[in-house]
Structure formats: C-alpha cells, structure tokens
Amino acid sequence: MSTTETERADEDYLATESRRRILEAAERLIAVRGIEKVRLRDVAQEAGVSIGKIQHYFTNRDTLIEEMFKAASLRRVAEWATFAREMDDPTEQLVTLLNHAIKDRERCTVWLATTSFTSRNPQFLPDLSRIYDAWRATLVEVIETGERDGVFHPTGAVEDVADGIICVIDGLMTAVAIDLDGYTRERNDRMLRHMSGLLLGVSLEEAWLVE
C-alpha cells in the first residue's frame, strides 16, 4: 500500500471512529437525560469532539438523533440475533434471547425514545418496521426449530406467537424505561418466561436457569 493509500485508510478509520463515538455519546446522554434535554454541545463534550465535527457528519441535532436511533436499534438487533446463534438447543436459544431482551434500563429508555420519536416522525416508520422484522425473524427461526424438534408446541401460528412474545417484551421495556413501581428485574423475568411459555405450550421455569 502506498503512502497516500495508507493515509487515506487512516483518515477513513478516524472518520468512522469519530462518528461512532458521537453516536454512542448521544445514546448515553439520551438514556440519562431524554431527547429534549440533549444539545449538540453536550454530545460534543461527552464524545470529546468539537461541535463542528458533529455538524460535519450529521449537519444538525435532528439528523444526529435520527442516526443515533437507527444505529443503536440495528446494533442491538444484530447482538440479539447473535445470542441465539451461539447455541444449538432451541430452548437455550429462546431463554438466552429472553434473558437479554430487557436486561438494562438504558437500552429500554433508548427504545422507548425511539418509538416515541417515530410516532411523531412517521417517515422513520420503515426503519422501525425493519427492526421489528429482524426481531421477529430471529424468534420465528428459534420457535420453528423447537416445534420441529418437539420441544415447543405453539398455541397459534408461529409468527403470531413470535409477535405475542415481542408485545410482552415491548410492554416490559416500557415499564423498565419509566421505572414503573413494582417492575423489578426478577418480576419482569418471571412474567416474560411465564407468558412466553404459555404461548409456546411449554414451561420455561427450569429452562430459565440455563445461561
């Protein structure tokens, strides 16, 4: 590689790294302060860059917020799918997916902000739909494998069962995000495994202990 090509590669890497830091900084701040209270200068300070650099990549605050929601959601969908691919047993796959669905408040807060933002900006609905489609595809694959192996006995069409589990996850994520009284981690886990088990015609009480 020539000196010019090396320099260009370094510049591309630094640009990508700076952009990633900015997006992650915005995500952290929104999780703590909410969308309305986060300003470009806050993100610049958190990311260790200038406001001008943020504007270079994202033009303005609204574009930054939009890109942050998209990047955070797609990253977490990819991570979630990875959990299922790390094992072969469908029960362990499902349990692992559920274990990671609502594991931290920051994730839940950002997701709630994402859905709220989309409700006010319907042009981003296709992006949100793709995220739901990715969740659904992962769950459907695991459920179909479990049904084929005789482990799961879905109480309805597989896609309907997957959507039902997603609805439970969504509801619990909202409760966690707003810190609703009584929704402890232990209770949320118990409700999620119980409702998922009902939809799948199987008890997940013992299986839940598998990591």
Dihedral (CA of 102, 16, 133, 84) sign: negative
Q: What fold, for 1-59? A: Arc Repressor Mutant, subunit A (1.10.10)
Interval 117-167: pLDDT, tens = 888 888 888 888 888 888 899 999 999 999 999 999 999 999 999 999 999
| Nearest alpha carbon to residue 89 among 46, 160, 145 | 145
The hierarchical CATH code for the domain 73-209 is 1.10.357.10
pLDDT of residue 140: 95
pLDDT of residue 206: 65
Show me where the domains of the chain are located.
1-59, 73-209
Q: 140 with 156: CB under 8 angstroms?
A: no
Q: pTM score, two decimals?
A: 0.78
**Is residue 66 scored above 90 in pLDDT?**
no
